[in-house]
Amino acid sequence: MKQLRALAPALCLLAACGAALGRTASRGKVTRAYAPYTLAADARDPLTAVVLGTGWEPSPAAGAARGPAGEAASGAIVSTLVPLRAAGPRRLRLPGQALAVELEVSAVGAAPGSSSQAQARPAQVDWPLEIAIASAAAARALGKDVGEYHWRAQSFGPAGRPPAGLATTAMLAAGFVAALTGAPIKAEVTILGVVLPDGSVAPDARMAAALAAALAAGQRRLVLPASLAPSAAASAPPQEELFARARARGAVVTTAATLAEAYAALTGESLPVSAPAPAAALELAPPVQAELAAVYLRRQAALATNWAALLLLDNAARVPAKVRMLADAAQRTARLAESLHRAAQDSAALGLMAEAQALTAAVVQIRTVVDLVQLGHVDEALDMLDEHVTADAEAVAAMRTLGATQPASGDAALDVLAAWQVASEAFAVGQEQRKELAELAAALGDLRGGELAELGSAATATRVADAVAILVLSASQQRARLALAMELVGIAGPSGPARPAAPSEPTGPAERAQLVDGAGARPSVELWTAARAAPSVAELWRRMPDAEPRPGRAPPGADLGQRRLTELGWIIAAAELPDSASNEPPSPRRELAELLARWGRDSAPRAMRHWALAQARTAAAWQRWSERALLAADRSVLPHLVRTADLQARAAAQAARVAIGVVPRSLQLAYQRGRALAAAEDPALRRAALVELWRACALGDAAVSLARAATPRDAGP
C-alpha cells in the first residue's frame, strides 16, 4: 500500500467526522491521522488511549472513487484518542460473588486513588491468573502497554479463586477498562465469559457452574458469550439449556462477542475499536505466494525420505496401536496439505506439511526405538532418544542467527520476531523434554537384561511405544516447525537496496531479512543507514517495554502493576489455564533469567527475546486451554469464535497498518493459515485456526509496540 503521509496537525472532534467513521461520536474523543512511526507521543501519554485505525476519512476531492482495497481513492486512516482519567476504585460483583471486588488502575509512578477503603486496606490480589489475563486484555483494548499501569484488585469476599474461575476474566477486563476511562459501571450487570488473547469473549468448561453460581447469588442481568446464543450454534441443546435456565429464574440475558461489547453492556458507553482491514490488505503479494510454493515443494521432498517406511506399515503385522495411529494421522495430514497446495493456499499447506513431516519422523523414530529394545539394546535406544531430543540446542542456534540479523524495516523485524517466537517455544519445550527423557530412562530401566522372548513380545512393543510416543512426537514437531520458521524469515517481496550495518552492530547471515515493506514500493521508513542518521529496528526493539523481572521480585499475590508483559505471560503459562478452580496461586516453572542466560544475552535485543518468550508460552497455554475448555463447553461454539477471531485479526492488521505503514508479512501468513484451517470440519483444525488467528493478533500488537518505541527523529523524511 502507499505510505501514509502526516495530515494537518489540527484535531477534529469525533462528532464532526462520525458519519465518515460510521460510529457514534462520544464526548471527549477526537480523531487523528498518523504517518508510520509517529504515534509514540500520544501512545505513551498515560492519560490518553490511542485506538488505531478506527475509520477511513476520504479527502473532500475523493468523491465516489474507490481504491483497490475498497477505500476512497484518497484520504487517510484515522485513529481515535480517548482521554483517560483516574476516577478512583470501581466496584464489581463478579459472577457468583456475594461481596464486591474493587478494581483500581493507576499509571506507574502515580499515587493510587484517594478512596478511603483503598487507603484503609492495602491492595490485595486474590486471583493472580484472572487478574493477569484481564489486565493484559484491558491494556490491549486501549492500545496501552500493560506495564504502564498498576492493576489493583481488592476482594471483599473469601480468599481463593472466584467461584466462576476464568469466566470472571471478561468482567474483570471490562471493569479495568472502565477504571481507566472513568465510565460509570452498572452495578446490576454480571458478565460471564473468558476474555481470549484476541479480545473475544468465550465460554469455558465451567460455564454451567458459573451461571448457577450467579443465579444463586441473585444476579439477574446477565451477559453471556455470543457464541453460546442458540442462533450462533449449529446444534446447541447445551446452550439452549443455559439460556432457558437463566430465563426461568427471571434473568434478563444479553450476549457479547468481544471485550468492547462487554464493556458497553457494563457501562452503557461505546469503546472505539480498530476497523477490520480490507481483505486485500491481508492478501499475500504474488512474489510471496511464489516463494511459499517453492518452500512447500522442498518440504514435500523432505517428507519423501521417510514416506516409504510409513507406507510399509499398511501391511505390517504387530504394529503398536500408537504407531499406527500416528502413521494414519501423517497420511491424512499430508493429503490435506496437498489439497491446500493445489488450491494455492500454501501458507496453510506449509504448516500441515511440517506437521506431516513431524508425524512421519516420529513414526520412524518410535519404530526404531521399539526394535532396539526388542533386540535387547535398551541403552542404545535411550541414546538414540537423547540424540533426537535436541530442540533446545537447535533453538539456541536459530536464535543466534536471528539475533545477528539486521532487518531494514519494521516488516522484516516482525518476520524475525515471528521466527523467534517459534524458537522460544522450541527452546522451552526442549528443556522440558530433557527432564522427561531422564524419567523415561528410569521407567524403562527394568527392561535391561530381560529375556529376548519377553522383550520381543507385542506387550513390550506396546509398552515402549506408549512410553516414548509423546516425547518423540513433541521433539519432531518442534524441529519441523523451527526449520520451517527459519526458512520463512524474510521471504517476501522483491529485495530493496541493502542497508549496510554500522560497525558497532553485529551482522549475520540472514540477508534475506533486509527487504523493503510492500511489493515494489519504496521503503516505508528508513531506520537503518550507514551514517546512523536513524537507529536500526533493533534499537527500536531495545526501546520496547522492558519485560525483565527484577531480582527479589514480589510473589504472585503482590501488586501486579509491577509486573511486565513477560511475567504476565509466565503466570498464564505456568497455570496452564485450568478448567477447575484451585486455591493454589500459579508459580513459574523456571525463572525467566535462567532461560535467558542459556540463550546468549548479547545475541539479540532484550525486549525482542522477552516478547517472543511471553508469546510462545502464553500461546501454548491458550492452545492447551482451547483443547480442553472449548470441547468441554460444546464444539459448536468453535465456528463462531473463529469468525470473531478473524475479525479481530483483521482489526489488528489495521492497527499495524497505521503503526508501521504496512500489514506485516508475518501477520498475513498467520492470518491466511488461520483462514484456510478454519474451512476444515475437523474441530482440531479449527482450534489450530483459532491459535493462528491469535498469533496474527499478537503480531499486530508487536507492530504497534515497535512504533511506540520510535521517537520523532526515527520517522525519517
Q: What digits encode the pLDDT tens for the residues 168-209? A: 889 999 999 999 999 999 989 999 999 998 999 998 877 878
Model pLDDT, residue 501: 32
Q: How far is CA 608 from CA 9, 70, 194, 605, 670, in A?
A: 32, 35, 28, 5, 19
Higher per-residue confidence, 34 vs 570? 34
Mean pLDDT over 596-607 rounds to 47
Distance CA 454, CA 240 (A): 55
Model pLDDT, residue 87: 64
Mean pLDDT over 432-448 rounds to 81
Model pLDDT, residue 713: 47
| Range in 126-135, 307-316, 438-447, 563-572 the model is least confident about | 563-572
Residue 158's pLDDT band, with cuts at 50, 70 and 90, is low
The domain ranges of the chain are: 12-83, 90-267, 536-715
Distance CA 491, CA 289 (A): 10
pLDDT tens by residue, 12-58: 322 333 322 233 334 457 899 998 888 988 988 888 999 999 998 87
pTM summary value: 0.78
CB 303 within 8 A of CB 356: yes
Residue 342's pLDDT band, with cuts at 50, 70 and 90, is very high
Model pLDDT, residue 598: 46
Model pLDDT, residue 82: 93
Mean pLDDT over 344-372 rounds to 90
CB 408 within 8 A of CB 523: yes
Sheet containing 189-191: order of strands: 189-191, 221-225, 252-256
Distance CA 606, CA 568 (A): 17
Q: How far is CA 64 from CA 7, 20, 81, 534, in A?
A: 21, 13, 28, 39
Question: Given the DSSP bridges, would you call strands 252-256 and 221-225 parallel, antiparallel or unpaired?
Answer: parallel
Higher per-residue confidence, 117 vs 529? 117
Residue 120's pLDDT band, with cuts at 50, 70 and 90, is very low
**Cell output for 661:** 505503514
| Range in 241-255, 486-500, 521-535 the model is least confident about | 521-535
Distance CA 661, CA 524 (A): 6
Place of cell 499495524: 656
CB atoms under 10 Å from CB of 21, counted, come to 18
Which range is most confident: 395-404, 415-424, 543-552, 629-638?
A: 415-424
Average pLDDT, the chain: 72
Residue 601 has pLDDT above 80, yes or no: no
pLDDT tens by residue, 491-529: 643 333 223 233 233 233 232 232 222 222 222 222 222
Distance CA 630, CA 37 (A): 38
Give just the sign of the alpha carbon dihedral 140, 144, 148, 151.
negative
Place of cell 459501571: 185
Residue 648 has pLDDT above 90, yes or no: yes
Residue 584 has pLDDT above 70, yes or no: no
CB 471 within 8 A of CB 389: yes
CB 489 within 8 A of CB 669: no
Residue 545's pLDDT band, with cuts at 50, 70 and 90, is very low
Question: Given the DSSP bridges, would you call strands 221-225 and 30-32 parallel, antiparallel or unpaired?
Answer: unpaired
Question: How many helical (H) and strand (E) elements, i.e. helices and strands, does the chain have?
Answer: 24, 12
Q: Which helix or strand (DSSP H or E) is residue 103 part of?
A: strand 101-107
User: What is the share, in percent, of the chain residues with pLDDT greater than 70?
Assistant: 65
Nearest to 429 by CA among 363, 475, 485, 484: 475
Mean pLDDT over 351-364 rounds to 91
Helix pair angle (391-403, 458-488), 10° resolution: 0
Distance CA 187, CA 207 (A): 21
Mean pLDDT over 629-657 rounds to 84
Mean pLDDT over 288-312 rounds to 87
Model pLDDT, residue 217: 79
Model pLDDT, residue 276: 96
Model pLDDT, residue 152: 79
pLDDT tens by residue, 661-694: 889 999 999 999 999 888 887 888 888 889 899 9
Distance CA 205, CA 193 (A): 10
Distance CA 165, CA 579 (A): 8
pLDDT tens by residue, 78-104: 999 999 986 677 888 877 765 567 787
Q: Which value, to the nearest 10 degrees, does the dihedral of the CA atoms of residues 188, 193, 195, 199 take?
A: -80
Distance CA 86, CA 144 (A): 15
User: What is the share, in percent, of the chain residues with pLDDT greater than 90?
Assistant: 20
**Cell output for 31:** 480523531
CB 518 within 8 A of CB 662: yes
Has domain 90-267 been given CATH number 2.40.50.140? Answer: no
What DSSP assignment string belongs to 386-397? HHH--HHHHHHH
**Residue type, position 138, single letter:** A
Chain length of the chain = 717
Residue 642 has pLDDT above 50, yes or no: yes
Higher per-residue confidence, 557 vs 217? 217
pLDDT tens by residue, 376-420: 888 888 888 888 877 677 887 887 777 777 676 778 778 887 888
CB 53 within 8 A of CB 79: yes
Three-state SS at 626: helix
Mean pLDDT over 359-370 rounds to 90
What DSSP assignment string belongs to 601-617? GGGS-HHHHHHHHHHHH
Model pLDDT, residue 518: 28
Model pLDDT, residue 272: 95
Model pLDDT, residue 86: 65
Mean pLDDT over 575-597 rounds to 41
CB 588 within 8 A of CB 577: no
Three-state SS at 149: strand
